[in-house]
Amino acid sequence: MTVDSAQLAAFVPAVLALVGSPGPATLGLAAAGAAFGFRTARPFLFGLLSGVALTLVLVGTGVVGALLAHPVVGPLLTAFAACYMVYLAYRIATAAPIGDTHGSADAPGFVPGFVLAMTNPKAYAVFATLFSGFAVIPDDIVRNALFKGLLIMGLLTVTDFTWLYVGSALRHLFRDPRLSRRINVGFAVLLLLSVGFAVYA
């Protein structure tokens, strides 16, 4: 097994730029951190990472491409993804103000995080791009895909933890209930905008 150092040097920053940039998952994590705190939002993060791992497998094996190409299944999956993102944005926007123990929304847990990962249109586009390019191990297609998948997962885990931490850090900066509500609503709006952009792109 020979690793092409030039391809690897190009692949790593590409992964960081694509998976670490603002999108439905990263903004969802930051919003969950700001609305509910790092510790409370960790199950949401773990669910998201589990969903990402499955998404990587589905994209890498070509299953997703086949489903999205179907004239009926493709649009249905896209519509379901959009509806779920709206639901998640609502839960974030209606989260209890910081310091308020009686909120109109509970913190999203493992399952919402998993579903977010599986319905994130940006993730499918990004993973397809990363898998189709960059011959890091040019002499072995299978090992090349496995190596890239593991590297993507590792780097994505670091960036997702960072987004959640940054969001939770904001939680301690805003103790005013009205300002807290505005922050939550702002994150929810950004989440919806990122979804719209991802679907349009």
pLDDT (tens digit per residue) in 58-68: 988 888 777 76
**What CA–CA distance (Å, rounded) separates 86 from 171?**
22
149: Cβ–Cβ under 8 A, 6 or more apart, which residues?
56, 57, 60, 131
Provide the whole-model pTM.
0.76
Domains of the chain by residue range: 5-200
pLDDT (tens digit per residue) in 17-29: 888 888 888 888 9
CA dihedral 130, 131, 135, 136 (to 10 degrees): 70
pLDDT (tens digit per residue) in 132-167: 888 899 888 889 989 999 999 999 999 999 999 998
